[in-house]
Amino acid sequence: MVVCVCNAIRERDVREAARAGCCDPLKAYASLGRRPRCGQCLPFARELIASERAIAA
Ligand code: FES
């Protein structure tokens, strides 16, 4: 599933970035060489990162 339409970032990419230590969407997107544009995806990306880090904890 695509999380960020502007950057074509998939849920899997965000979860992998979270597991690699990215604690917020900005860092996760930066690790993928991208950055937010419209910002609509950020709340969902934030949730994904929080859930992934909760699983890893
Ligand atoms: S959908 Fe992610 S920045 Fe627009």
Helix (H/G/I), strand (E/B), else coil: 39: coil
The Cα 9–Cα 29 span in angstroms is: 8
9 bridge partner residues: 4
Tell me, in angstroms, the distance from the centre of ligand 1 to residue 8's CA: 8
User: How much is the pTM?
Assistant: 0.93
Q: Is the CB–ligand 1 distance for residue 32 below 6 Å? A: no
Structure tokens at 1: 């599933």
The Cα 24–Cα 3 span in angstroms is: 14
The Cα 15–Cα 18 span in angstroms is: 5
Q: Which residue's CA is the nearest one to ligand 1's atom 2?
A: 4
Domain 2-56: which CATH class? Answer: mainly alpha
Residue-level pLDDT at 3: 98
The residue extents of the domains of the chain are 2-56
pLDDT tens-digit map of 13-57: 999 999 999 999 999 999 999 999 999 999 999 999 999 999 877
Residue-level pLDDT at 57: 73
Residue-level pLDDT at 32: 98
Q: Which atom of ligand 1 is nearest to the CA of 42?
A: 2
Place of tokens 């949730």: 47
